[in-house]
């Protein structure tokens, strides 16, 4: 059940918000502690108009609410509100036990939620559960700040162990927990109709991107792991593909730092995830923890075990071969990260000659030894080559004098569409390959690995259409 959360400040404004979004929500939570002008007669009148379930919350300040008067006054208000007979009432876990019991027994038609909120830190969960579970409640809710994806995933696993438990991670790092609620069988989810009432709370437009209304316990989960990933367009293309196939699957974003990766993947395997995209700065470390034969990984398939792949290299080669054959071509890879290595591996298979050039000279030389090719720092410029590929998240660094006239220039960055590197290459009369093409190619290959029923051409066309208008805002990279 999806609750649309309304905050007032008046009943009239709340009514307008609810009626304008009625087709998208299953129920309404009235955050009455945030209302400035609360008229119980008007509220009763509005309840009669609504044909969907209602939830009342009168949260005190120390639990993240807005009710600033005394606890005695609040309890009196709660009793008055119960007389309006909402379908649900949210009461804090530590409210006076005798008061909770009294409400529970005297209002058999109201289903009570026992809730715990912590906006500052991630607490020890066992003591919280002990305090939360009471016989005088029908549902239980934990909403706590998560400083990492590990904490957020631990919270989700908790919901699997207990019936009628809602777990919500607060903050941007845990926003994905809100999307997974119906998949993990949680009875309730919450969405802001206008103003967020908790850090990381989703708005309706975001839920529509993720096809939230169709998510259920049989939905397969796919996700992007990396940091930063806030502006990634991967959810747009992958969820569009799932929608086109009418496939019961969700693609979300999980922020993950390098030092969290191993534990994050371990926890993910205990949840209904079927695949992962891996982006910067995790590709090389993912190869290590999955025992991959490759040095860089950007795709995981999860069944009874994890299988790792890299689609960056294949995607780049597909784009390049539309312009030229690669045999005997001299290719400069600017950068020494995961995407550079993936492209090098595939290009060497095509009998191209590779040179790694990196601002950190030692890293390029190390890769040159591994791939038995040439490598060094920017002192290798100017040099002769047929193709130059920017494999760093910062295309601005490549100087105009380093770009050979009339060569092929490719960027792995797909936002903005025209990077500074490609602008410089255009002035040198180069043939250009934009990052968007590589992004689509590698995403197509990921979908094929995840069992897409669409052909590569169908996937390309669909993704290209979905990206219209998006590829010109922030600077993103496949790195």
Domain boundaries along the sequence of the chain: 2-216, 234-309+441-470, 324-433
What percent of the chain stands above pLDDT 70?
98
What's the confidence (pLDDT) of residue 199?
A: 85
Please name the fold of domain 2-216. Answer: TIM Barrel (3.20.20)
234-309+441-470 to CATH, choices 3.30.230.10, 3.40.50.10860, 3.30.70.1450, 3.90.550.10: 3.40.50.10860
pLDDT interval class at 206 (50, 70, 90) = confident
Q: Partners of 410 in the beta sheet?
A: 389, 433
Question: Per-residue pLDDT averaged across 138-163, rounded?
Answer: 96
For residue 177, pLDDT beyond 90: yes
CA torsion 90-91-93-96 (nearest 10°) is: -170
What's the confidence (pLDDT) of residue 478?
A: 57
Question: Per-residue pLDDT averaged across 294-314, rounded?
Answer: 96
For residue 136, pLDDT beyond 90: yes
For residue 384, pLDDT beyond 90: yes
Question: Per-residue pLDDT averaged across 155-160, rounded?
Answer: 94
State the chain's mean pLDDT as an integer.
Answer: 95
Give, rounded to a whole angstrom, the gap between the first and last alpha carbons of the chain. Answer: 38
Query: Distance between CA 167 and CA 184 in Å, rounded?
Result: 10
The pLDDT tens digits for 415-461 are: 889 999 999 999 999 999 999 999 999 999 999 999 999 999 999 99
Strand (E) or helix (H) holding 300: strand 299-302
Q: So which residues are the catalytic ones? A: 117, 141, 283
pLDDT interval class at 474 (50, 70, 90) = very low
Q: Strand locations in 47-123, DSSP E?
A: 54-57, 88-92, 111-118
- Topology alike, domains 234-309+441-470 and 324-433: yes
Residue with tokens 């609810």: 18
CATH code of the region 324-433: 3.40.50.720
The pLDDT tens digits for 393-428 are: 888 899 999 999 999 999 999 988 999 999 999 999
What's the confidence (pLDDT) of residue 475?
A: 47
Q: Strand locations in 88-226, DSSP E?
A: 88-92, 111-118, 139-145, 165-170, 189-192, 220-226
- 41 three-class SS: helix
Residue with tokens 């969907």: 52
The pLDDT tens digits for 316-368 are: 999 999 999 999 999 999 999 999 999 999 999 999 999 999 999 999 999 99
Query: Distance between CA 413 and CA 390 in Å, rounded?
Result: 8
Question: Per-residue pLDDT averaged across 275-300, rounded?
Answer: 95
Query: Distance between CA 293 and CA 433 in Å, rounded?
Result: 29
For residue 204, pLDDT beyond 50: yes
Question: Per-residue pLDDT averaged across 72-92, rounded?
Answer: 98
């Amino acid at each position: 059940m999806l609750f649309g959360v309304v905050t007032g400040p008046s009943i009239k404004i709340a009514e307008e918000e609810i009626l304008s979004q009625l087709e998208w929500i299953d129920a309404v939570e009235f955050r009455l502690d945030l209302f400035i002008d609360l008229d119980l007669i008007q509220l009763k009148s509005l309840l009669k108009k609504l044909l969907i379930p209602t939830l009342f919350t009168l949260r005190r300040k120390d639990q993240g609410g807005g009710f600033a008067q005394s606890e005695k006054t609040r309890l009196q208000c709660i009793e008055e509100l119960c007389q309006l007979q909402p379908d649900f009432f949210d009461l804090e876990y530590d409210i006076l036990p005798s008061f909770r019991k009294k409400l529970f027994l005297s209002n058999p038609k109201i289903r009570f939620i026992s809730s715990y909120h912590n906006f500052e830190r991630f607490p020890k969960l066992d003591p919280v559960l002990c305090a939360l579970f009471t016989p005088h409640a029908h549902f239980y809710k934990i909403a706590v700040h998560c400083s990492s994806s590990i904490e957020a995933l631990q919270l989700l696993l908790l919901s699997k162990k207990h019936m009628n438990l809602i777990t919500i991670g607060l903050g941007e790092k845990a926003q994905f927990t809100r999307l997974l609620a119906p998949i993990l069988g949680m009875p309730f989810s919450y969405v802001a109709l206008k103003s967020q009432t908790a850090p990381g709370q989703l708005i309706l437009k975001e839920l529509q991107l993720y096809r939230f209304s169709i998510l259920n316990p049989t939905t397969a989960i796919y996700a992007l792991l990396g940091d930063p990933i806030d502006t990634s367009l991967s959810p747009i293309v992958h969820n569009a593909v799932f929608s086109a196939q009418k496939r019961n699957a969700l693609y979300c974003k999980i922020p993950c730092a390098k030092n969290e990766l191993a534990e994050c993947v371990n926890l993910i395997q205990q949840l209904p995830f079927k695949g992962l995209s891996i982006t910067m700065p995790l590709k090389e470390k993912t190869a290590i923890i999955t025992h991959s034969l490759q040095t860089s990984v950007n795709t995981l398939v999860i069944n009874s075990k994890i299988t790792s792949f890299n689609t960056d290299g294949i995607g780049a080669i597909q784009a390049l071969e539309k312009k030229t054959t690669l045999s005997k071509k001299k290719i400069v890879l600017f950068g020494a990260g995961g995407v550079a290595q993936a492209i090098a591996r595939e290009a060497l298979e095509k009998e191209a000659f590779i040179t790694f050039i990196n601002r950190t000279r030692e890293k390029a030389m190390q890769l040159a030894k591994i791939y038995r090719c040439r490598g060094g720092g920017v002192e290798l410029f100017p040099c002769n080559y047929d193709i130059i590929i920017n494999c760093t998240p910062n295309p601005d660094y490549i100087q105009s004098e380093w770009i050979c006239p009339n060569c092929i220039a490719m960027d792995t960055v797909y936002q903005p569409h025209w990077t500074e590197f490609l602008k410089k290459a255009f002035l040198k009369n180069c043939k250009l390959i934009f990052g968007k093409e590589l992004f689509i190619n590698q995403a197509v290959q990921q979908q094929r690995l995840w069992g897409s029923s669409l052909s590569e051409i169908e996937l390309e066309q669909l993704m290209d259409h979905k990206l219209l208008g998006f590829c010109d805002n922030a600077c993103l990279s496949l790195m």
